[in-house]
Amino acid sequence: GQQLNQSPQSMFIQEGEDVSMNCTSSSIFNTWLWYKQDPGEGPVLLIALYKAGELTSNGRLTAQFGITRKDSFLNISASIPSDVGIYFCAGRSDNYGQNFVFGPGTRLSVLP
């Protein structure tokens, strides 16, 4: 099935640095979601976006719904050790009925 493209695949950063990651698709989406997954646990919703151009924050996290509706971005400011994990994007659109399409994830490591 369709998958979203996420970049980077993985990243190593120093504690306190800012992080940016993105998610792209060849088709448009009506909803963009960002999740964080800890090892062996279920993905936890971080931010949900429903309108093109929408910019939403959740604490140190900020995500944007791209104007073209084909991409989304997640930024984490002033990273801390507990930010370590895998970040997934997900999209939903009429093209895929009720189903969600997921990216492969960005693995984030934070060095002290």
Partner 1 sequence: EAQVTQNPRYLITVTGKKLTVTCSQNMNHEYMSWYRQDPGLGLRQIYYSMNVEVTDKGDVPEGYKVSRKEKRNFPLILESPSPNQTSLYFCASSGLAGRLNTEAFFGQGTRLTVV
59 touches partner 1 (CB under 8 A): no
43 touches partner 1 (CB under 8 A): yes
HEC states along 35-96? EEECCCCCCEEEEEECCCCCEEEECCEEEEECCCCCEEEEEECCCCHHHCEEEEEEEECHHH
Residues 78-107 that bind partner 1 (CB under 8 A): 88, 90, 92-94, 97-100, 102-105
Identify the CA nearest to 93 among candidates 48, 59, 50.
Answer: 50
Q: How far is the CB of 101 from partner 1 (least distance, A)?
A: 9
The 11-30 site mask, x for binding partner 1 (CB under 8 A), equals -------------------x
Task: Measure the CA–CA gap between 33 and 88, rounded to whole angstroms.
Answer: 8
Q: How far is the CB of 112 from partner 1 (least distance, A)?
A: 26
Kindly list the residues in this chain that would bind partner 1 in the complex (CB under 8 A). Answer: 1, 3, 30-31, 33, 35, 40-45, 48, 50, 88, 90, 92-94, 97-100, 102-105
